[in-house]
Amino acid sequence: MKPSTKMVRRPLLPLTDVDPLTTPIFETTSYVFDSAAQVREYNEGRSAKYLYTRYGNPTITAVEGKLAAAEGAESALLLSSGQAATSTALLALLQSGDEIVCSAAIYGGTLHLLGDLLTRLGLAARFVGIDELRDPERVLSDRTRVLWFESPINPTLRCVDIKAVADACRARGVVSVLDSTFASPVNQQPLSLGVDVVMHSATKYLNGHSDVTAGVLAGGSSRLAPMEKVRRSLGTILDPQAAYALGRGLKTLVVRVERQNASAGALAIWLRQDPRVHAVFYPGLADHPDHDIARRQMRGFGGMVCIDVGDYARAAAFFDRLKVFQRAASLGGVESLCSLPVLTSQWGHSDEELRAAGVTHGMARLSIGLEDVEDLIADLDQALG
């Protein structure tokens, strides 16, 4: 062989003798076959080989295995963002003319995807208030194929009775999908409550270091198989580098979330007794409207706390004075963050949409990280003025 040929040939690696402790990153778009017979076996689903990374990759498979284990699911799929997970799932589940019922109190991106984009493809999206979800049989119609909901809900941390919704859907042959991003699998196991598919923005707690954008779908293998096909067509699979980073983040998921639960609980109690704070929204507080539901279905109450300081001017002044909490969107990372819902997740919403989501102009949403809780309390104290 000439030098230029040698440079591009893959080296033969003694892979059978190599047993790395951590998951290697398979940075390859394609996989090599020995024969036409091998390619045929792959195409007929009779081999464990890989063909092309948009269809699958060993690094991604390894992390999907961990995520399935975390959710108690048969299978999991990794996608390039939470939104990629949502759109891939919905395009697999719905056909033109079908109806999707969606909680009105839902992540803004989901609201826009359903209300603006998917309705252009002939899907009917019907949004229902959280109180209507207390009687889930009544929100389903003969045309409903999917019910999409979230619990705890951003930013009010209202909780929906997951088992009641899942049972009603199952009785009517409707597929239930829960966005469980705010809880993480440490605090909530929706599949064990009867939900068909769990979706996460893995950008948040699952990765936990604010440096990866990713999404997850978890559930039964036959339920996920059509979603895997749509993922191939749309090209919404995660990149292997990002999958590696997510897999590394998952190693500390349980200790991170347990610490975040404890710190958020302590902060909520501290905020509750402060007269400068008009309202504290945290499912672990006994006066939270869904405390009983949260106690039944959550192992921990999570690392998100929302406060209402009265009006927008006070919320903005509080926000601007923070020193330890950083002014940034997103959540679930090791750094404590603050955002004002009317400027981020609910930006551009009409007053009616804000009311449906339970969001006010005086709200500040806190994502509790891993800093010392005393520093966090001192920061809130000075920022409240």
Ligand X SMILES: Cc1ncc(COP(=O)(O)O)c(C=O)c1O
In the 8-state DSSP scheme, what is residue 97?
T
Q: Which residue out of 42, 49, 54, 276 is catalytically annotated?
A: 54
Q: Is 163 a catalytic residue?
A: no
Shortest Å, Cβ 254 to ligand X = 20
For 27, the 3-state DSSP assignment is coil
In this complex, which beta carbon is closest to ligand X, that of residue 363 or of residue 373? 363
Provide the residue count of the chain: 385
Cβ pair 303, 367 in contact under 8 A: yes
Quick one: which of 189, 152, 147 has its CA closest to 168?
Answer: 147
Shortest Å, Cβ 168 to ligand X = 22
Point out which residues bind ligand X (CB under 6 A).
81-83, 107, 109, 150, 154, 179, 181-182, 201, 203, 213, 215
Amino acid letter, 49: K
Joined tokens for residue 257: 């979330």
215 vs 154, 207, 246, 323, CA distance in Å?
17, 10, 10, 31
Shortest Å, Cβ 2 to ligand X = 47
Cβ pair 169, 196 in contact under 8 A: yes
In this complex, which beta carbon is closest to ligand X, that of residue 136 or of residue 215? 215
Shortest Å, Cβ 24 to ligand X = 25
Joined tokens for residue 379: 């920061």
Q: Which residue out of 107, 205, 244, 282 is catalytically annotated?
A: 107
Which H or E run includes 99? Answer: strand 99-103
Shortest Å, Cβ 87 to ligand X = 10
Q: Which residue out of 50, 145, 161, 179 is catalytically annotated?
A: 179
Q: Is 107 a catalytic residue?
A: yes
Shortest Å, Cβ 46 to ligand X = 35
In this complex, which beta carbon is closest to ligand X, that of residue 92 or of residue 113? 113
In this complex, which beta carbon is closest to ligand X, that of residue 75 or of residue 81? 81
Quick one: which of 270, 271, 293 has its CA closest to 283?
Answer: 293
In this complex, which beta carbon is closest to ligand X, that of residue 28 or of residue 330? 330
- CB-based contacts of 122, cutoff 8 Å, min separation 6: 96, 97
In the 8-state DSSP scheme, what is residue 341?
G
In this complex, which beta carbon is closest to ligand X, that of residue 179 or of residue 196? 179
Which H or E run includes 357? Answer: helix 351-357
DSSP string, 62-92: HHHHHHHHHHT-SEEEEESSHHHHHHHHHHH
Q: Which residue is listed with tokens 């464990």? A: 48
Question: Which residue sits closest to ligand X, CB atoms considered?
Answer: 82
Shortest Å, Cβ 150 to ligand X = 6
In this complex, which beta carbon is closest to ligand X, that of residue 50 or of residue 325? 325
In the 8-state DSSP scheme, what is residue 239?
P
Q: Which residue out of 145, 204, 231, 256 is catalytically annotated?
A: 204
Q: Which residues are part of the catalytic machinery?
A: 54, 107, 179, 204
